[in-house]
Structure 1
Amino acid sequence: MKSPRPLILLSFLFSTFFLQLHAIPAAAPASYPPDTGSGTGTDFIRTSCNSTLYPEICYSTLSRYASTIQQDPAQLASVAIGVTLSKAKRMANYVSNISRQADYGSDQRAAAALHDCFSNFGDAVEEIYGSLKQMRQIRSAGTSRASFRFQMSNVQTWMSAALTDEETCTDGFEDVADGQMKEEVCDRVEYVKKLTSNALALVNRYAENGMN
């Protein structure tokens, strides 16, 4: 009979990582006021979302913040990152919960894939949060063109890394047998990947035109 100590140790490390993840503050968009019905902001968002790979998802998730975004591309990128951060944290929490259950199951490949997925999403959350902090710093004070380019390069790098981490999560399920758990996890990850992709596209657009 196998010793349960490796699983106990893994669960302990996993719980510690979970607590560290919760130390990251909640995403800012939750405190933004809802759209008041002005068409100017929503028109700007719809036009901007056309530059993303998933324009309908982009518009549906960001239009509620039209009164905050108005016609500000920096604010649009910041809100998109914040929305993505919120969803990525929820995904990490979800994977954490089902991973602990999987530790006591018989499918060790599934358990390993879930733990790897949580680790990847922990990294993604930190990278997206770093991007959001950098965007706020850019917007909080005036900056030179060189400084703007450098800071935006950081945002682009972190958002790209987050997208890669999310993709790595789903790659880890390739050897896991098909089933409801695998399908649900991959579907949820796919949605977060689309949000991350859209946010990155809006960041790229702002980086290209922000100091023009």
Structure 2
Amino acid sequence: MENLLSLTSFSLLISFLLLRSPSAVGFPAPAPSNNDSDFIRTSCGTTLYPELCYTSLSRYANAVQSSPAQLAKVAIGVSLSNAKRMAAYVSNLSRHADYGSDHRSAAALHDCFSNFDDAVDQIRDSLSQMKTLGSGQGSVRFQMSNVQTWMSAALTDQETCTDGFQDVPDGTVKSEVVKRSEKVKKVTSNALALVNCVAEKSG
């Protein structure tokens, strides 16, 4: 009986610790609430690619909660990660691809990397600005205007990458680069839409 009581007390203690702080005993944080997820789904409804928006951002519902500015910041961070991976992919491809006599592919890849490299810088600047939002470094409206400008420029650079392949003959390199670029453009477009929502409210 004494062992049974000790085991019960131990179980109650563990349950109490889990309720108090899951991470303190090495367990993952609780799943996001339905309200947080619903906020992200509703917000993503303002974007051009709502399903992609929701699937790429819903995992951050705990951090976002119901904050439009926090959601925009997370979306910019996701856009940055995608753009950095794309820049690295194109850079690696341009070093190892066998173009033969097709100089147009080589030129398109070189320009694409340059465009994505610029986009990474612009998205990184946007994220840095979002992290100082409302901190006194200029008005929120001014800060959001900066973010809008940089994210729009990043999206333009990404579109320029795919435009550069229009005159390139169809092939594996072209199709793969364009396909991956389109995904990154959609993520960036969604982030810009969420930024615009915050900018409208700050105005």
Is contact 1:78–1:135 with CA below 8 Å preserved after alignment? yes
Amino acid corresponding to residue 122 of structure 1 in structure 2: D
Structure 1: stretches of 5+ with no match in the other structure: 1-32
| Helix, strand or coil at the partner of 2:159 | helix
Selected match of 1:186 from 175, 178, 181: 178
Match in the other structure for 1:113 = 108
Match in the other structure for 1:208 = 200
| Helix, strand or coil at the partner of 1:138 | coil
CA distance in 2, matches of 1:176, 1:34: 48
CA distance in 1, matches of 2:107, 2:191: 29
| Helix, strand or coil at the partner of 2:74 | helix
Match in the other structure for 1:59 = 54
Is contact 1:34–1:65 with CA below 8 Å preserved after alignment? no
CA distance in 2, matches of 1:204, 1:138: 14
Amino acid corresponding to residue 176 of structure 2 in structure 1: E
1:101 and 2:96 correspond: yes
| Helix, strand or coil at the partner of 2:199 | helix
Is contact 1:54–1:198 with CA below 8 Å preserved after alignment? yes
Is contact 1:120–1:166 with CA below 8 Å preserved after alignment? yes
Match in the other structure for 1:149 = 141
CA distance in 1, matches of 2:146, 2:62: 28
CA distance in 1, matches of 2:46, 2:100: 44
Is contact 1:35–1:65 with CA below 8 Å preserved after alignment? no
1:197 and 2:189 correspond: yes
Identity of aligned residues (%): 68
- Shift in CA distance, 151/103, structure 1 to aligned 2, threshold 3 Å: farther
Amino acid corresponding to residue 68 of structure 1 in structure 2: A
Q: Deviations over 1:12-32 (max 9, x none)?
A: xxxxxxxxxxxxxxxxxxxxx
Is contact 1:127–1:158 with CA below 8 Å preserved after alignment? yes
Structure possessing the higher radius of gyration over alpha carbons = 2
Match in the other structure for 1:48 = 43
Is contact 2:73–2:127 with CA below 8 Å preserved after alignment? yes
Q: Deviations over 1:105-149 (max 9, x none)?
A: 43211011000000000000000000000000115x2577xx111
CA distance in 1, matches of 2:120, 2:30: 27
Selected match of 1:81 from 76, 84, 96: 76
Is contact 2:99–2:105 with CA below 8 Å preserved after alignment? no
Scaled by the length of structure 1, the TM-score of the pair is 0.79
The alpha-carbon deviation at position 52 of structure 1 amounts to: 0.2
Selected match of 2:168 from 150, 153, 176: 176
Is contact 1:35–1:66 with CA below 8 Å preserved after alignment? no
Q: What stretches of structure 1 move > 4 A for 4+ residues in a row?
A: none
Scaled by the length of structure 2, the TM-score of the pair is 0.82
